[in-house]
């Protein structure tokens, strides 16, 4: 990869160049594998079929082409009796993907069989030497995996496995065949040629490994019920090799039984037509995928946005790491645990609760789609940027979320914001986790002002018996509201993990916040709006969340419960977004003694047009009754500020 980057730093181009080189090498190795048993025409046909296969092209940029090249190289070395090198290369497959152990297992079975069958010292020595070489090779990877991840298998592999859950590998493989090769009528003949090729390959000692590997690989993934397309890529290599071997055998039989020169020429033209048309059909199908998937471009765009708009040391939770991480160049925590150690669940909410990264990138793709529908995520994170991918509905949209509360408890906080209290919980495997977390807030006289209790880890720890799954360092956080507090100094206490920590915080008046906008609006039946503050400034991205903190003074003790409507209008007066604010402290509990702080939030549409917008407020009776008029008899009040919305 470093060599390819000498030509280009574009990730997509670099991946394509590297994959193109690997497919050329693997095609040559595959042709060499059958060189002693086929004609040069069959070898050329095999290379052309590999080079034009659409499945290989949609696998470009992934580890699949490296995997296939190493796999065919191990077969090639085995055939040349270089057993130790073959096992070393097979061991390197496990560095690429965990299922690479099938290749080593296949070669190992033949070595053991030869040692048992021959009962000779050279065979035993060969088995032992190859076994040692293979063990060292895979031991390097699995030793690293165990020491770093605490597991021999990556979470990404486990996430895709549904043991004995049906015939997924078979059914999706059949669907993939129809989608990529269905337009080629010749592919139906490949089934018969494959059977002939399997029989022929089993008769050749140097090719039996291809047959046995194909069987073990197919059975293994059928049992695991895996259906992602990239798991079929190495299998197609084996099927093409065996099918071409079967075609060579069939050709030889036809030539032996067709003495007439004219018929031989007809058969030759038919074979040439089959190969040429198969290549043409393959190229035609491959060209359908010549443009990168929309999500590839979307990930690059979101990554670039992160690179330009978040701090260099900001941590980010993602699911698909590669393209996004390359462009973002920020510390990443992937929820599948591909690079994050001690991650014992693939659920993104576990990752987010454990590490509480400053940002997260969510999509509509499982398992994010279920999490995005829960209010729990919205309480922890808020949207700040959204990119629409309309042609990819299962993925649309991509949303960048920002953590609401800081991981450091502040010594000062603006009235109306939530006070974050934090602690870290460390556990060894099997140790009991805390049950709950509590916090209290007292005024300067020691009187209890507010308190809150929540289940530890929001009751989302993946082990229901309350025992740590491994070495855990968990970030626990609880928030205390300050909307109902008068400015002043308060004492907080946090009960977390059987220990209590305490401190003081100064609540500053909302009207001292930078950017606070005084207002003079009044409702006869409600009171006066003294001012408003936008904690996130006046510039936003489409799909982001708009937060408002409003300072109200009740005209008198209110007896009715009221709700506040918030509308965002463009310069033409067209409403583009709206929301309803239900005050945390019901209006029928308000008193005119001191101002009340109301916090409101609404989310902009994903495709909200860029431009300047105004915000209008209106009060109405809870449940949606008619609006209450202002003292000026107007139904709505337009805030004396303008916000700007930018589009991706």
CA distances from 547 to 10, 391, 509, 616, 643 (A): 38, 31, 18, 14, 12
Q: Measure CA 487 to chain center.
A: 43
- Give 475-494 pLDDT, tens digit per residue: 999 999 998 889 999 999 99
Question: Using 50, 70 and 90 to split pLDDT, how confident is the model at 162?
Answer: low
Query: Predicted confidence band at 10 (pLDDT cuts at 50, 70, 90)?
Result: confident
Structural tokens at position 423: 């602690």
The dotted CATH code for 514-646 is: 2.60.40.3880
Find, among 618, 586, 619, 583, the residue nearest to 601 by Cα.
583
Distance from the Cα of residue 160 to its chain's centroid: 13
Q: What is the longest distance spanned by two Cα atoms in the chain?
A: 111
User: Are 412-508 and 514-646 the same fold in CATH?
Assistant: no
Give CA–CA dist 452/445, Å, rounded: 20
pTM: 0.83
Q: What are phi and psi of 385, to 5 degrees?
A: -160, 135
Check whether 163 has a pLDDT greater than 60. Answer: no
What sections of 97-186 are H helices per DSSP? 101-118, 121-149, 155-159, 168-181
pLDDT tens for 309-364 read: 999 999 999 887 788 888 999 998 887 777 777 778 877 788 888 989 999 998 88
What is the rounded CA–CA span in Å between residue 637 and residue 615?
8
CA 247 from centre of chain: 42
The confidence score (pLDDT) of residue 190 equals 87
Tokens describing residue 154? 């990556």
Q: Where are the beta strands (DSSP E) in 410-487?
A: 412-414, 418-427, 436-442, 448-455, 472-481
User: HSE on the CB side for 181, CA within 13 Å?
Assistant: 21
Task: Round the average pLDDT of the chain to a whole number and report it.
Answer: 89
Q: Is residue 156 over pLDDT 70?
A: no
Measure CA 130 to chain center. Answer: 38
Asked if omega into 389 is within 30° of 0 (cis), the reply is: no
Q: What is the pLDDT of residue 228?
A: 83
Angle at 19 between CA 53 and CA 275, to 5 degrees: 20
Among 450, 61, 66, 44, which Cα is nearest to 275's? 44
Strands 611-621 and 637-638: antiparallel
- Give kind and range of the element (H or E) at residue 183: none
Looking at per-residue pLDDT, the higher value among 513 and 337 belongs to: 513
Q: What is the model's pLDDT at position 451?
A: 93
Indicate the domain borders of the chain: 2-288, 294-403, 412-508, 514-646
**Contact criterion met (CB below 8 Å) for 3 and 49:** no
User: How do residues 577-601 score in pLDDT, each as one tens digit?
Assistant: 999 998 888 888 887 867 789 999 9
Alpha helix positions (H), 80-120: 83-96, 101-118
CATH topology of domain 412-508: Coagulation Factor XIII; Chain A, domain 1 (2.70.50)
> Which H/E stretch holds residue 504?
strand 499-508
Q: How many CB atoms lie within 10 A of CB 347?
A: 16
Q: Which of 85-94, 118-127, 545-554 has the lowest mean pLDDT?
A: 118-127
């Amino acid at each position: 990869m470093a060599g390819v980057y000498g030509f280009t730093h574009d990730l997509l181009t670099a991946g394509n160049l590297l994959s193109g080189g690997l497919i050329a090498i693997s095609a040559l190795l595959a042709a060499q594998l059958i060189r002693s048993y086929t004609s040069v025409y069959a070898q050329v046909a095999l290379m052309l079929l590999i080079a034009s296969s659409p499945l290989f092209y949609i696998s470009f940029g992934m580890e699949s082409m490296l995997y296939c090249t190493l796999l065919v190289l191990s077969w090639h070395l085995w055939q040349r009796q270089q057993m130790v090198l073959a096992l070393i290369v097979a061991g390197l497959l496990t560095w690429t993907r965990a299922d690479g152990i099938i290749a080593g297992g296949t070669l190992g079975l033949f070595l053991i069989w030869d040692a048992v069958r021959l009962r000779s010292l050279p065979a035993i020595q060969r088995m032992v030497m190859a076994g040692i070489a293979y063990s060292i090779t895979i031991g390097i990877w699995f030793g690293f995996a165990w020491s770093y991840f605490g597991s021999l298998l990556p979470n990404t592999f486990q996430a895709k496995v549904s043991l004995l859950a049906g015939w997924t590998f078979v059914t999706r493989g059949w669907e993939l065949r129809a989608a990529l090769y269905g337009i080629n009528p010749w592919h139906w003949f490949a089934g018969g040629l494959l059977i002939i090729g399997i029989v022929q390959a089993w008769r050749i000692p140097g090719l039996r490994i291809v047959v046995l590997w194909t069987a073990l690989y197919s059975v293994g993934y059928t049992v695991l019920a895996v259906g992602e397309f990239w798991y079929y890529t190495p299998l197609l290599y084996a099927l093409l090799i065996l099918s071409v071997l079967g075609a060579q055998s069939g050709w030889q039989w036809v030539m032996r039984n067709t003495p007439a020169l004219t018929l031989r020429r007809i058969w030759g033209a038919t074979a040439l037509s089959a190969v040429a048309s198969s290549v043409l059909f393959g190229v035609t199908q491959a060209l359908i995928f010549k443009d990168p998937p929309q999500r590839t471009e979307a990930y690059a765009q979101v990554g670039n946005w992160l690179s330009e708009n978040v701090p260099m040391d900001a941590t980010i939770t993602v699911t698909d790491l590669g393209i996004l991480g390359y462009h973002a160049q920020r510390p990443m925590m992937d929820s599948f645990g591909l690079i994050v150690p001690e991650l014992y669940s693939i659920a993104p909410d576990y990752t987010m609760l454990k590490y509480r990264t400053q940002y997260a990138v969510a999509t509509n793709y499982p398992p994010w789609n279920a999490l995005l529908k829960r209010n729990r995520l919205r309480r922890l994170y808020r949207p700040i940027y959204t990119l629409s991918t309309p042609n990819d509905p299962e993925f649309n949209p991509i949303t960048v979320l920002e953590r609401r509360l800081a991981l450091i408890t502040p010594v000062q906080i603006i009235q109306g914001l939530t006070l974050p209290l934090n602690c870290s919980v460390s556990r060894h495997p099997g140790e009991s986790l805390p049950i709950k977390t509590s916090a209290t807030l007292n005024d300067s006289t020691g009187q209890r002002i507010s308190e809150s209790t929540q289940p530890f880890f929001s009751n989302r720890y993946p082990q229901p018996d309350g025992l740590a799954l491994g070495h855990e360092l968990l970030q626990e956080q609880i928030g205390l509201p300050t909307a109902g507090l008068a400015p002043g100094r308060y004492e907080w206490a946090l009960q977390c993990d059987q220990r209590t920590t305490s401190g003081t915080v100064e609540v500053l008046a909302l009207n001292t916040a930078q950017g606070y906008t005084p207002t003079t609006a009044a409702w006869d039946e409600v009171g006066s709006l003294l001012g408003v503050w936008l904690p996130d400034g006046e510039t936003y991205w489409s799909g982001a969340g708009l937060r408002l903190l409003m300072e109200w003074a009740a005209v008198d003790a209110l007896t009715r419960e009221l709700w506040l409507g918030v509308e965002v209008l463009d310069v033409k007066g067209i409403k583009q977004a709206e929301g309803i604010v239900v005050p945390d402290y019901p209006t029928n509990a308000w008193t005119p003694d001191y101002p009340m702080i109301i916090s409101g939030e609404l989310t902009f549409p994903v495709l909200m047009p860029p431009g300047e917008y105004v915000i209008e407020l209106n009060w109405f009776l809870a449940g949606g009754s008619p609006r209450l008029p202002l003292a000026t008899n107007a139904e709505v009040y337009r805030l004396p500020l303008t916000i700007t919305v930018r589009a991706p």
